[in-house]
């Protein structure tokens, strides 16, 4: 699929981050977009940006849906068909994701299951729901967002990262299996797995909203105790910090993750769309993603040791998980 003009793209998690930037770049090329997100407010902003930049006649639709709920995904699919008056789509970007659920030992099961549900079930449910519409198209492409944590289940040896990593490994394996499945049974449809490194998005803030967690100002004494432990694990002198300083540090982490990333969401979207045009099934996003991939392949037995993080910091300037 060399040209997105005249196509219809479905994007999950279109309210912010890479989903928003994918929508903006696609409509600028003359592609209709149907997006879903759990934040109606964020989608309104995305739609406004798209319509400000889109050629005349481009249709951009929004639908509030939680992709971890199969019934809501089905309603989203039905809405796409009705609103866009079509039985087919060309592009499916399974992009929605949240973080959290780090420890299988200590985190509540409800949080762990929610993170896994959004990041894995969302991909599975949406691919199931929209497959008939992809089959009806002359050409189609499924783009599933995994992560570097889909082949490296870590943010560093001091940080638990199980739910997100397990889900992203599932996304990677599913997409790789689809490559042959589609070649054998639906050769007009391609599949790509996207594995971003550190991208400048609001995933930290959005995760807290989805999981119903308080913002920094609303942290309880128990929350602060857990936060202090996490910050200590990252090498910060949290034991000597006041509660207000802990709150400030937590708030700043979310800002830094978004604003100090080596790759912006817009840059990531461009890399992804270029990969789709080139029909690459494996799309690494960011120099840090390439560095992690190279290091893991070079010494897989060392990937979860502190020495690996030292190499990663040296090669890619990675500070996440420290």
Residue 53: CATH number of its domain = 3.40.50.720
| The pair of three-digit structure tokens given for residue 33, joined into one six-digit string | 């977009």
Residue pair 111/63 in contact (Cβ under 8 Å)? The answer is no
Q: How many CB atoms are closer than 10 A to CB 7?
A: 22
The verdict on 105 and 227 lying in the same domain is no
Residue pair 69/126 in contact (Cβ under 8 Å)? The answer is no
Q: What is the model's pLDDT at position 321?
A: 42
Give the whole-angstrom CA distance, residue 163 versus residue 166: 5
Q: Quick check: is 135 in a domain? A: yes
245-291 pLDDT, tens digit per residue, is: 878 777 777 777 777 788 999 999 999 999 999 999 999 999 999 99
Judge whether 322 lies within some domain: no
In this structure, are 188 and 277 located in the same domain? yes
Q: Provide the pLDDT for residue 214.
A: 67
CA 159 – CA 145 distance, rounded (Å):
22
- pLDDT at position 178 is 98
* DSSP per-residue letters across 260-317: S-SEEHHHHHHHHHHHHHTT-SEEEESHHHHHHHHHHHH-GGGTTSHHHHHHHHHHH-
Do both 171 and 184 map to the same domain? yes
Q: The sheet that has 189-196: what strands, in order across it?
A: 60-64, 32-37, 8-12, 91-94, 140-145, 189-196, 282-285
Q: Are 159 and 230 contained in the same domain?
A: no
User: Is the full-model pTM beyond 0.75?
Assistant: yes
Mean pLDDT in residue range 194-217: 80
pLDDT at 314: 85
How many domains does the chain fold into?
A: 2
Domain limits at 235? 212-260
State the pLDDT at residue 319.
Answer: 58
122 and 227: one domain? no
Whether 207 maps to a domain, the answer reads: no
Verify that 240 and 152 share a domain, yes or no: no
Closest CA to 232 of 151, 158, 136, 132: 158
pLDDT at position 216 is 67
- pLDDT tens for 55-105 read 999 999 999 999 999 999 999 999 999 999 999 999 999 999 999 999 999
């Amino acid at each position: 699929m060399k040209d997105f003009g005249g196509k219809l793209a479905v994007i999950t998690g279109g309210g912010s981050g890479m989903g928003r930037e994918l929508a903006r770049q696609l409509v600028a090329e003359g592609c209709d977009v149907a997006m879903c997100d759990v934040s109606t407010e964020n989608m309104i902003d995305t739609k406004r940006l798209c319509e400000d930049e889109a050629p005349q006649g481009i249709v951009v639709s929004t639908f509030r849906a939680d992709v971890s709920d199969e019934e809501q995904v089905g309603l989203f699919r039905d809405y796409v068909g009705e609103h866009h008056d079509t039985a087919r789509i060309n592009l499916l970007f399974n992009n929605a994701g949240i973080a959290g659920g780090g420890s299988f030992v200590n985190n509540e099961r409800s949080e762990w299951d929610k993170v896994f549900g959004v990041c894995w079930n969302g991909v599975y449910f949406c691919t199931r729901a929209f497959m008939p519409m992809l089959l009806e198209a002359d050409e189609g492409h499924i783009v599933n967002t995994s992560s570097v944590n889909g082949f490296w289940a870590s943010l560093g040896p001091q940080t638990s990262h199980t739910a997100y990593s397990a889900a992203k490994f599932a996304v990677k394996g599913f997409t790789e299996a689809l490559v042959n499945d589609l070649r054998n049974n639906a050769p007009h449809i391609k599949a790509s797995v996207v594995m971003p490194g550190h991208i400048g998005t609001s995933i930290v803030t959005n995760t807290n909203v989805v999981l119903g967690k308080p913002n920094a100002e609303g942290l309880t004494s128990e929350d602060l105790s857990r936060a202090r432990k996490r910050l200590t694990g990252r090498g910060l002198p949290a034991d000597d910090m006041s509660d207000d300083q802990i709150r400030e540090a937590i708030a700043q982490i979310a800002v830094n993750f978004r604003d100090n990333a080596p790759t912006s969401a817009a840059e990531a979207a461009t890399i992804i769309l270029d990969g789709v045009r080139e029909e690459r099934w494996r799309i690494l996003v960011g120099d840090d993603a390439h560095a992690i991939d190279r290091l893991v392949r070079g010494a897989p037995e060392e990937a979860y040791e502190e020495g690996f993080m030292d190499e990663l910091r040296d090669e890619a300037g990675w500070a996440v998980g420290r």
